[in-house]
Amino acid sequence: MLDPRSLYEVHTDVWESIAGSRPPMLHLLEGYVDAGHLAKQLSDHLLASLQHEVLVTFDHDQLHDYRSRRPAMVFDTNTWASLTDYQLAIHKVTDASGRVFLLLAGPEPDQQWNRACTAILDITRALEVPVLVTGQGVPMGVPHTRPTLVTSHATDPDLAADNPVWIDRVTVPGSFSAMLEYTTGQDGRLGRGFVAHVPHYLAQGNYVPGALAVLERIRDATGLDLPPGDLATLALQTLGQLEEEVNRDGEFGPLVTALEEQYDELRASGRPSVPSADEIGAAVERFLAEHQEGDDNGGGRGPHQ
DSSP readout, 26-74? Answer: EEEEE-SS-GGGHHHHHHHHHHHHSEEEEEEEE-HHHH--TTTSPPEEE
The half-sphere exposure of 13 on its side-chain side, counting CA atoms within 13 A, is 2
Give the Cβ contact number of residue 52 at 10 Å: 20
In a domain, 303, yes or no: no
By residue range, what is the domain housing residue 121? Answer: 4-297
**Helices in the chain by DSSP H: which ranges?**
12-18, 38-49, 60-63, 113-126, 176-186, 208-222, 230-248, 252-269, 277-297
User: How many structural domains compose the chain?
Assistant: 1
243 located within any domain = yes
Give the number of residues written for the chain: 305
The predicted structure's pLDDT at residue 303: 44
Residues of the chain with pLDDT under 50: 272-277, 298-305
CA–CA gap between residue 213 and residue 218 (Å, rounded): 9
The answer to whether residue 304 sits within a structural domain is: no
Q: What's the rounded Cα separation, in Å, for the pair 26 and 289?
A: 28
| Residue 302 falls inside a structural domain | no
Euclidean distance between CA atoms 163 and 113, whole angstroms: 29
Residue 218 placed within a domain: yes
Asked if 145 and 260 touch (Cβ cutoff 8 Å), the reply is yes
- Here the CATH number for the domain that contains residue 187 is 3.40.50.10900
Bridge pairing between strands 51-58 and 89-94: antiparallel
CB 197 within 8 A of CB 259: no
Alpha carbon distances (Å) from 247 to 205, 209, 210, 234, 244: 20, 20, 22, 20, 5
- Answer whether residue 139 is part of any domain: yes
The Cα–Cα gap between 29 and 136 comes to 9
